[in-house]
Chain A
Amino acid sequence: MAQFFNKSANNIARISMVLVAVLAGTAFYAYTQIARSSYLTGRYLEKQQPVQFSHKHHTGDDGIDCRYCHSTVETTASAGMPPTQTCMNCHSEIWADSPYLEPVRASFRDNKPIEWERVHDLPEYTYFNHSIHVAKGVGCSTCHGEIDNMPAVYQENTLQMEWCIACHREPGNFIRPKTEIYNMQWQDNELTAAERVNLKSEYKIRTRELLTSCSTCHR
């Protein structure tokens, strides 16, 4: 009986073994890249909002404090979305006739809330609390980026667990003085290592074990 495989089959077998390994590696790499891509995380994607509200204008140009609208950021889990009333506090006086603001006026007039598109959306099994992060010296821009330069808000970070955990493992690298919490231009390298250590103990930031315990964020 003749040989079923000729000699070149050995090479083919060897090459295909290598190819399989390479392909598997490539596929895994591609998977990790796709999983982190903005296609899946929604990072950098600007969303069309019902009102063309510009954070760049209100925060960056006018210098309105974050907490004027996101008023519960220091007290509750949610930073708080401003009720239409908050918009109307100013816009019943200025730009009161602007066509851009018609949806706001309509909301106030008809007692119908404005339905904003959510930009930063954590999974439902993740319980994030704004107030404790602010209290422990995590600034707005650490997670949200330079909001004061965003005409339309987009998601600056992946909001994936590896990103959360990076800070929960080494919180010292991401904290800042309490006076700078709402400073959108703050850069993490403005503090020395020693200052970070001091700040961390001043804030009594909990241990790495506690911050990375599952039940800290998941219930």
Chain B
Amino acid sequence: MGIPETKKTFASLREKILAQNGKEYWRSIEEHADTPEFREFVAEEYPHEIEQWDSTLSRRNFVKVMGASLALAGLSGCVIQPPEKIVPYVTSPVGMLPGKPAFFATAMSLGGIATGLLAESFEGRPIKIEGNPLHPGSQGATDVLAQASLLDMYDPDRSQEVTFRGGYSTWESFVPTFRSAIEQNRADGGAGIRFLNTTITSPTLVDQFAQIKRELPNSKLIQFEPVNNDNAMAGARMAFGSPAHTVYRFDRAERVLSLDADIFSSFNTGYIKDYTKQRVYSETKKDMCRLYCIETTVSLMGAKADHRIAVKPSQMTEITKAVAAAVGVSGAVSTYTENADWIAAMARDLAAFRGRSLVIAGAHQSPAVHALAHTMNAALGNVGQTVVYTEPLSPGSEKLQVEQLRELITEIDSGVVKMLVILNGNPVYDTPIDLKLTPERMSKIPLRIHLGLRVDETAEHCHWHVPAKHYLESWSDARAYDGTASIVQPLVAPLYGGKNDHEFVQLFMQENFDQKDYDIIRGFWQRQNIGSGRAAVPVASPPTPVTDTSGGAAGENPEVAAVSQRSDNSNAASTSASPAPVSTASPAGNTAASAGAPGPGLRTGGGAGTGTAASNFEDNWRKAVHDGVVPNTAAPAKSVTASSGFLGQPAPAVQRMGELEINILPDPCVYDGRFSNNGWLQELPKPLNKVTWENVGLISPRTAERLGINTGSDDREFAGGTRGSSFINTKGGNTFSDLVTVTYQGVDIQKPVPMWITPGQPDDVITLFMGYGRTRAGRVGTGIGYNVFDVTRSDAMNSGSGNISAVPGTTTIASTQIHFNMEGRDLLRVWNLDEYNKNPDVGHQHDEYPKSMYPYEEHQEVYNKHNKWAMTIDLNSCVGCNACVIACQAENNIPVVGKEQVERSREMHWLRIDTYYGGGDISNPDGPHFQPVLCQQCEQAPCEVVCPVHATVHSAEGLNDMVYNRCVGTRYCSNNCPYKVRRFNFLLYQDWNTPQYKLMRNPEVTVRSRGVMEKCTYCTQRISAARIEAEKEDRPIRDGEVVTACQAACPTDAIIFGNMHDENSQIAKTKKDHRNYILLNELNTQPRTTYLAALKNQNREMPDYHSREKAVHTPGMQESKAPAGEDGH
């Protein structure tokens, strides 16, 4: 292909993008434009720069060196294995079975909301996180943060010493100094003592602070984190007159309206599980809930919505008022006049499902939107049905977090604060600029103490830094979204020493100041008389330093929330349905923490609610620790009356400071920056744009065009010219992204922001993400991305206005969006529910079997004699949350490769989630739709026949086995794989040296080295374990006994796995489902993994109803070429 032909100017490409009716489904704007260059890019198995040679070694010298190594290579097979030692225990812990993992219930908190977990312990080392089926906030599933928290625990960058003014010190020298400082402050009742914490809901910690308040009545507790509940609390106050915590009951909601809420990426797996119960479609449940979404940026919830409108943040309140008026909220008058049909039709639909509909508001939306959502739920009769109110879970919710912070900053400035104790937050980094805890402010405080996992931006400016314990190392307790309390138990002795916040806060007590966390937690729950059948610990009571009134007497309400009752039932059901790992109780006493190994334990089946409440505390305590849930602690319902009186009040207006509106959201991977140093999360492709290792700014295609963003003006544009291949940015794409300076409310973000053209983004709205631009995060997270906390303001925490101006240069974004592209074929199927119900055979696929050149009958003969493992992925349920990707990474020891390698398409994730936009309109596309793609385990696998060394061969059970020790790295298999699911270790990606990581790895899976191909094997180690157990008990493997890592993590139960030969198994049923289809069926690979088509439950009355009858079964790309691999290199 000559260069001049490929040299398309961006203008013409952009025209093509904007004007052309693209193909039905597309993954990126590049694919949408579908230029010859893009096709050329896709035709290469690995993208540009693959030929680039990193080493300074010249090619000639390389051959010389390699010649010598090759001569020796033949002998490497004969190397004698190094001698090994066997080191048994001196006294074996009771119940310890070497090589058998045990599961311990624990919980991880984020923003004060806990997700119950079961941590898998292998000979005393936590190696994997699973969900706790008994916990309402998990219901057996997990999210990306919980999965990745394992890596956080082993992070070698965690602080390992107590430091004083940057120099090493010890806990022993810290305690007396600190205690004497406290004593000096005791005279005035601790008037100079301030605690700055993240959101607290831990009942014990709340109690500890209450006691500090009694001993030091003038001390104050400030809770602040950048992602908080302020808007929800303010909104509740507007609607009800008092703050309230909202608990949604998605399992009862048949019509859901989301007002810029995104439960799918809000790290509350309980909600996603509940939502899925209504959304799931099966041959026996042919209706499903309908999701409407009004949002200000593209989100997972918008992607999955049946009807979606994108509006500017400034329009959000008005459109919400328009909806409120339409559903009959008295007094709601709106100036928003667009989309009137849309709103009216939706309001009719919501009203028709009175008591079964639900309106939810996003945490970053204004208080007015929250208040309107409350009034709408009241008007729709949903209160008590799909929405329940409780007292706030966190004490001190009377005052907004940002107001608490403002008070603290004022006091620091006036010199009142004598001692600042920062527990777990990173306020120097993440406070808004007008209330920034700057180093100058910090220096006004005579004594500053920081407890945290790492020496971060805040620790740098504190006198003392005390290493904190990770939640997997400490005793604590936490509350779920519905108030249910959990006991957090340690899995291992602290790797680097450290104390947790309970032990730290205990230092302020006059008595028992040196109590261990176990004694503190156990002591607290002993006083609560747990298991006695009533809400043991009232939420938000007792009083705390910042609470003036003693919060909720509500806890005494004997009518203990239907919520808790419900969660018990559903949990019991889910336990029996999916075999949860057996959870083993922790040792009584502190054995686990001190010995670093699980000791004597109750080994009971994870049966919930089977035991009756025993009278003595010890039994109740052990049961609570074992189950991970303290019974009957869900917050009782609070009765509130929503009034729309607030509509008359003027809304506080933020000064408009520019022509663009700007949204600021937590990052879907690293959240607010606290997970910055986690390589798994950094490399996890962000759900919608698949960007890794960076945060970008989202911009709509039309706005980008108007402002000339990403116009492909880079010099490198034609760098590959002489080869006749040009690089991706010639397609006017995102990969080489333009940098801009973003001005938000008049202040510039210091680092330039790379822009990312995002289909579906509302015009003139830029979306920015938190969590990057860290200056002291650790070796992984320092210095990447821009920092939005340069510009957030207390009056504009989440949205405001501003401008962008281009700065010279572009940057390369490591996005996996266009990697492993399978080229448009019948890859994704999305149908309308009503159309599908009329004609379920619409997607019938031809069996391509007769065309096979493989010995098909011979294969089948073998498969018929054995278990036939297979997987079905329900695209209707999948919400693209990425939990499976990280779960797979943790289970299978998948390495992190780094940004530069991701740019070369060398990421190692065995499971990727493809996102496909639908429709021809790039500004308002359908979707994106999500499709997890992992090894399809083809019965007639193209990869196997091309392997010269038989390193990939079929097992009798139909798995496409990968034998790492046979692989010589020809990569022929990957070249021949039509699904692009094989991953090659181009370099030594695994960290073989850091001792901490050795502890973390799953010992059941080989750790791969350089030059080896790897891929998904359906978690063959889990199949083996189940098979061996079943064979020993002389029975077949039960349905549901083998749960793959991705399946276990999935909060939507989208992944179904099992033995197809078992007629009654769930997998056999899904394979007969009419929605079932095979990816690239025309290649006749006979994969064991199949997909269930996604369904949209669109409302025919809506103006944007989009019939999909024609879209069915049309190959997307007309000029469909041979499989991607064939014309590779």
Contact = CB atoms under 8 A, between A and B. Distances in A.
Given A209-B866, A210-B957, A218-B963, A117 B85 contact: yes
Contacts of A113: 87-90
Given A75-B100, A83-B91, A215-B961, A123 B81 contact: yes
Nearest to A113: B87
A211 to B, nearest CB: 8
A35 B1028 CA distance: 32
B13 to A, nearest CB: 47
A116 B77 CA distance: 26
Contacts of A68: none
Interface stretch (B205-213, B607-615, B988-996, B1017-1025): B1017-1025
A75 B97 contact: yes
A218 B965 contact: yes
Interface string B1030-1070: 01101000000000000000000000000000000000000
B73 to A, nearest CB: 14
A124 B1006 contact: yes
Q: Choose among B78, B80, B84, B88 the residue with the greatest number of A CB atoms under 10 Å from its CB.
A: B88
Interface string B87-127: 11111100001111000000000000000000000000000
B78 A218 contact: no
Contacts of B954: 213
Interface string A180-217: 00000000000000000000000010110110011110
A153 B455 CA distance: 51
Interface in B768-791: none
A208 B813 CA distance: 50
B957 A81 contact: no
A132 interface: yes
Instruction: Give the interface centre of A34, A84, A129, A215 by most chain B CB atoms within 10 Å.
Output: A215
Contacts of A124: 1006-1007
Nearest to B1020: A215
B1005 A81 contact: no
Contacts of B866: 206-207, 209-210
Interface in A12-71: 34-35, 39-40, 42
B122 to A, nearest CB: 11
A111 B83 contact: no
B859 to A, nearest CB: 11
Nearest to A75: B97
B964 A85 contact: no
Given A76-B97, A209-B866, A218 B964 contact: yes
A131 B86 CA distance: 19
Interface in B423-477: none
Contact of A116 (B86, B862, B865): B86
A118 B957 contact: no
B657 interface: no
B191 interface: no
B955 interface: yes
Q: How large is the interface on B (under 10, 10 to 19, 20 to 34, 35 or more residues)?
A: 35 or more
A132 B1032 contact: yes
A82 B88 contact: yes
Contacts, number: 132
B1004 interface: yes
A219 interface: yes
Interface residues of A, number: 47
A12 B865 CA distance: 59
A216 B1006 contact: no
Nearest to A136: B1031
Interface string A132-144: 1001100000000
Interface string B829-873: 000000000000000000000000000000000100110000000
Contacts of B1004: 127, 219
A129 B91 CA distance: 24
A114 interface: yes
B90 A76 contact: no
B959 interface: yes
B956 interface: yes
A124 B90 CA distance: 25
A111 B90 contact: yes
B87 A115 contact: yes
A132 B1031 CA distance: 7
A219 B1005 contact: yes
B865 A207 contact: yes
B78 A35 contact: yes
A88 to B, nearest CB: 9
Interface in B945-959: 953-957, 959
A215 B959 contact: yes
Contacts of A77: 99-100
A85 B961 contact: no
B955 A80 contact: no
B1059 to A, nearest CB: 13
A114 B954 CA distance: 43
Contacts of B89: 83-85, 113
A131 B955 contact: no
Contact of B1024 (A42, A82, A127): A127
Interface string B367-401: 00000000000000000000000000000000000
A154 B86 CA distance: 15
A129 B1029 CA distance: 11
A125 B90 contact: no
Given A76-B100, A127-B1004, A215-B955, A204 B1031 contact: yes
A129 B1003 CA distance: 13
B1006 A118 contact: no
Contact of A76 (B98, B956, B1024): B98
A38 to B, nearest CB: 11
Given A210-B957, A214-B961, A218-B964, A81 B1032 contact: no
Contacts of B1021: 127, 219
Nearest to B79: A40
Name, among B956, B964, B1005, B1007, the residue most crowded by chain A CB atoms within 10 Å (CB to CB): B956
Given A40-B78, A127-B1024, A136-B1031, A215 B1017 contact: yes
- Which of A85, A132, A213, A219 counts the most chain B CB atoms within 10 A? A219
A107 interface: yes
Contact of B955 (A42, A136, A214): A214
Nearest to A219: B1021
B964 A125 contact: yes
A179 B113 CA distance: 56
A72 interface: yes
A63 to B, nearest CB: 23
Contacts of B84: 118, 121
A213 B959 CA distance: 9
B1028 A131 contact: yes
B841 to A, nearest CB: 36
Contact of B91 (A84, A114, A117): A84
B88 A84 contact: yes
A84 B86 CA distance: 12
Nearest to B863: A209
Contact of B90 (A107, A117, A131, A215): A107
B716 to A, nearest CB: 42
A78 B96 CA distance: 12
A102 B814 CA distance: 61
Given A115-B86, A204-B1031, A215-B1017, 8 more contacts: A34-B78, A39-B80, A81-B86, A118-B86, A121-B84, A206-B1031, A207-B866, A209-B956
25 contacts: A35-B78, A42-B81, A72-B97, A72-B99, A76-B99, A85-B90, A85-B91, A112-B90, A114-B87, A116-B86, A118-B84, A121-B81, A123-B965, A124-B1007, A127-B1024, A129-B1028, A204-B1034, A210-B866, A210-B956, A214-B963, A215-B961, A215-B1024, A216-B955, A216-B1024, A219-B1021
Which 7 pairs, one residue from A and one from B, show the smallest C-beta to C-beta distance? A213-B955, A209-B956, A81-B88, A214-B961, A83-B89, A210-B956, A118-B84
Interface of A: 34-35, 39-40, 42, 72, 75-78, 80-85, 107-108, 111-118, 121, 123-125, 127, 129, 131-132, 135-136, 204, 206-207, 209-210, 213-216, 218-219
